[in-house]
A and B are shown apart, each in its own frame.
Chain A
Amino acid sequence: MELEHNAYLVLPRLHVQNLNTISSPMTWGAPAITAAMGFMLALQRKVPFDWELDLLTVGMVIHDFEPQVNGGFVKKFSLTRNPLGKDGKTPGIIEEGRAHATISLVFGVYVAGDTSDELLQERARTIYKEASAMRFAGGSIIYSSNTWYKPQILMLPEDQAETQHTLALKRSLLPGFALISRDDVLVSHTKKLQEEEPELTALDAWLDLSRINKRCVVTRIEQPSGEIKETVGWQSDREKGSGWLVPIPVGYSALSELYKAGEVQNARDPHIPFRFVESMYSIGEWCSPHRLSSLNELLWSSHADHEAGIYRCINHNSN
């Protein structure tokens, strides 16, 4: 099913309440792109089969993000009380992190055949309605009365060139930030660190990119009098224009063999294969949509490689 998208579907400004902000065992904040991917698949299954409308890729633009955290330098998650157990006692607290967010989803869509624009927009509204009753990253999509943003399906010209319509679409996603992949930065930074200290790993590079490192720089300037004047300044290593880089989970890597259907006890579905995995991390960038040369750059697709044991999302912008 190697289809190329020929349209965008936009579900604008979904107000998601209490989404799960713990996106992996080592990251928190915006939902993982895998959550958007899961949403896309669930949504696809609600699109009537005979519409021949395939959701192929998904992009996530965040307009507003309000995590339910407290604490100063190190954040703690605000919890809610869970119902009591059978003995009337408080059960062990399993921490959950919650956030409210306003998110637009952009899908790369393949629409088969000739469909009138009127019908397409009606379908966009129907899909939006279905989506509104679903959960996104564990959160509820709540109603908002700010109804000036409309869901839409935009057919693309054959050469996928930017048009008035795609430019208008891009602007409708402002202000906001789209998640794109920066695998390239992780790879090059790992290499750079290893040139100095060979035993360092991708973990060190990943951490290095996730924090601000300040170093002391001393500048010596010779004065006309011949005197040397020293100025001291601590400088961050974040290069200007390197973008808003963040650590992100991008998928999963296998820990076990691929078990046959039914082999693993307590599987949610005993009819399909099962695999234990761990999260896989890379670097992403939050990029304002108007800085992208095409909306295609914010789209992610999902891949499965059973042999290598890699299940991950790939952003076509990268590299």
Chain B
Amino acid sequence: MSSPELTSRANTLRRLIYEYIDEQFQEKVKSLEVGTDAYIKQQEKYQPNNWLAETMKRIAGIQVVTHPFRMTNSQVNIRHASSFYCNPDELLEQNYVTSHVLKNGYLDDLTGNAASFPAYTFLQLEHEGQTLLQMAVRKDQDLISALHEDKELAALWVKDISEIYLPRTESVASHTSGKQIFWNNGEDPYDNDNYILLAPLYSSSLSYELYKKISHDRYSEEAVKAREAARANKIHDGVARDYRNLAVLKLGGSNTQNVSRLNNLMGGQNYLLPSLPPSWKSRNQRPPLKVSSIFSLFEKRRDTKQWLDELKEFLSNQPPANKHTRNKVDLLVSGLLDELYIFVTAFQELPAGWSKDELCDLSSAQCYWLDPARGLEDEEFAESWLNSDWDVTVEHDFARWLNHQLGSKVKHLGDVEFRRWAREMRKDSYWQRFISGSLKALQKQHVRREG
């Protein structure tokens, strides 16, 4: 097997390669009888030069990548849309998360014809800490001589191997199913020339890193123990990590390998972290039964307390009665009214008519305020809604409640402020216009029906 023309390192490399091929051969003919046609056929196939020539063909059908296009659409041939290998070390170092964070280690991904992925395993054969692929990239002369006696052919092979990182498209190409967005360069947006196209690609190397970390936090023994301890409220020195609203995006359908090797390792399960907005509607919003004033619930909220505390603190320092004080109080009361607005909307969105419940102890004014849609089906209710001064009553309720909360601290602000709050309250009536409109329509309808 060793050849006198070769350097001893080249000989070692050749031995490494041939032994690998032989291993593959032995595995293949395990169940075949020596000398049969099938055996001889395999023997022919695994003859080193034949096997290498075939492997080179396979290498042309795959690409080593960090950003495979097939994460976007697994049906697209790698010759039709470019995929990229981007070494994190060469990417811009920045404070934000991009695949540059993989500098401390990551896995190369493979895309293309999945049946040819084993060719990559061959390129990962190592000698003195160097893989065949790394040697090929350096155009290692010993590797060239080791691969084939025909040096010209071998040099071509090495070139082909080293190009395994390059896009397999004829020239750089995106795809009609790829995402492409127009980005304005800061100049006149009416002018087409002031845009460039950005084509975002998935980093499967980064997605895989995320997958590993999250999987560890969810399934590792360490994580399971910490979670159990937390649930049982037992002493434990681990961290229980909880990913709420985590989502899984399945890529590649039933053929995850079609997308890429790393996608296959993830079982196609790409984790997505949630940027969901909070919901101001609580899931089990209940009608405010068995309370005589809505303010007794309102004052228990943490957000309400925050505004109140700030207001109390400001007033407790005896601020002078001037414009600045007025503005500051205005701002704080306005914040409190905003809280009230949010708080109240949740009740207004409940199924109409909840205030009919026997357990509802609210004043009729507060019922009109909090269950307005009841007027859409209850004409008597609608009538009083339109014709009584319930809003004035509610304003007084609010003012009385606030004065009570602030206690003596508000005394010197006097009656003027009291009425300003009331006015503020009335202005806060986007829904009021809408509902009175609807109610008028309802009444008209009834009149028509009766007439």
A contacts, CB < 8 Å to B: 1, 22-30, 34, 38, 41, 44-45, 49, 62, 64-65, 67, 69, 73-77, 91-95, 97, 146-149, 162, 167-168, 170-172, 174-177, 179, 183, 186-187, 190, 199, 201-204, 206-207, 210-216, 218, 232-234, 244, 246-248, 250, 252-256, 258-259, 263-269, 271-282, 284, 286, 288, 290-291, 302-304, 306, 308-311
Q: Given the complex, which residues of A lie within 8 Å of B183, measured CB to CB?
A: 252, 302, 304, 311
B101 touching A201 by the CB < 8 A rule? yes
Q: Are B171 and A265 in contact (CB under 8 A)?
A: yes
A contact residues around B246 at 8 Å (CB): 73-75
Judge whether A214 and B173 touch: CB under 8 Å. no
Partner of B276, one of A30, A147, A266: A30
Are A278 and B203 touching (Cβ within 8 A)? Answer: yes
Chain B residues within 8 Å of A278, by CB: 67, 86, 98-99, 200-203, 206
Known: A22-B249, A77-B247, A250-B96. A274 touches B190 (CB 8 A): no
Taking a contact as CB atoms under 8 Å apart, the answer to whether B186 and A303 are in contact is: yes
Question: Which residues from chain A contact B229 at a C-beta distance below 8 Å?
Answer: 216, 234
How far does the alpha carbon of A176 sit from the alpha carbon of B277 in the complex, in Å? Answer: 9
Say whether A76 contacts B248, CB under 8 Å. yes
- Interfacial chain A residues near B98, Cβ < 8 Å: 253, 278-281
- Kindly state the separation between the CA atoms of A244 and B280 in the bound complex, as whole angstroms: 12
Given contacts A95-B251, A203-B101, A279-B200, contact A29 B276 (CB under 8 A): yes
Given the complex of chains A and B, what is the CA–CA distance between A203 and B103 in angstroms?
11
B residues 430-446 near A (Cβ < 8 Å) are 430-431, 433-434
Instruction: Knowing that A41-B189, A247-B275, A272-B192 touch, tell me 7 more A-B residue pairs with CB under 8 angstroms.
Output: A93-B253, A199-B104, A214-B240, A234-B229, A276-B200, A280-B98, A282-B96
Give the chain B neighbours of A73 by CB distance below 8 A: 246
A211 close to B217 (CB less than 8 A): yes
A207 and B213 in contact (CB under 8 A), knowing A28-B275, A49-B190, A265-B174? yes
- Given contacts A30-B275, A281-B97, A1 and B196 within 8 Å (CB-CB): no
Interface residues of B in 274-299 (CB under 8 A from A): 274-281
> Which residues of chain A are within 8 angstroms of B86 by Cβ–Cβ distance?
255, 278
| A206-B97 CB under 8 A given contacts A26-B271, A214-B239, A275-B197 | yes
Question: Who on chain A is nearest to B245 by CB?
Answer: A75
B201 with A255: CB separation less than 8 A: yes
Give me the 10 closest cross-chain CB pairs, A-B, nearest first: A290-B338, A265-B173, A148-B434, A281-B97, A29-B276, A28-B272, A75-B247, A246-B275, A29-B275, A201-B101
Q: Which of A167, A175, A308 has the most chain B CB atoms inside 10 A of its CB? A: A175
B185 proximal to A (CB < 8 A): yes
Supposing A75-B248, A269-B197 touch, asked if A304 and B92 sit within 8 A by C-beta, the answer is: no
Which residue of chain A has its CB nearest to the CB of B345? A175
Complex contact B430–A172 (CB within 8 A) = yes
Chain A proximity of B67: nearest CB distance (Å): 6
Say if the beta carbon of B40 comes within 8 Å of chain A: no
CB neighbours of B100 from chain A (8 A): 253
Q: Contact at A175–B203, with CB atoms within 8 Å?
A: no
A sample of 26 inter-chain contacts (CB < 8 A) reads A28-B275, A29-B276, A62-B277, A75-B245, A75-B247, A148-B434, A171-B338, A171-B341, A187-B95, A201-B103, A202-B95, A203-B97, A214-B230, A216-B234, A232-B234, A254-B92, A263-B172, A268-B182, A276-B67, A276-B82, A277-B200, A281-B96, A288-B338, A304-B185, A306-B185, A311-B183
In-complex Cβ contact of A202 among B84, B97, B210, B342 (8 A): B97
- The residue among B91, B99, B199 with the most chain A CB atoms within 10 A of its own CB is B199
B99 to chain A, nearest CB (A): 6
Interface residues of B (CB under 8 A from A): 67, 71, 73-75, 81-82, 84, 86, 91-92, 94-101, 103-104, 169-176, 178, 180-190, 192-193, 195-203, 206-207, 209-210, 213-214, 217, 229-230, 233-237, 239-251, 253, 270-281, 331, 334-335, 337-339, 341-342, 345-346, 427-428, 430-431, 433-434
Q: Are B104 and A272 in contact (CB under 8 A)?
A: no
Establish whether residues A65 and B196, one from each chain, have CB atoms under 8 Å apart when the complex forms. Answer: no
- Name the CB-closest residue of B to A187: B95
Given A167-B334, A212-B242, A277:B198 Cβ within 8 A: yes
Residue of A nearest to B99 (CB): A278
Task: Select one of B186, B203, B278 contacting A25, CB under 8 A.
Answer: B203
CB of B273 within 8 A of CB of A275, answer: no
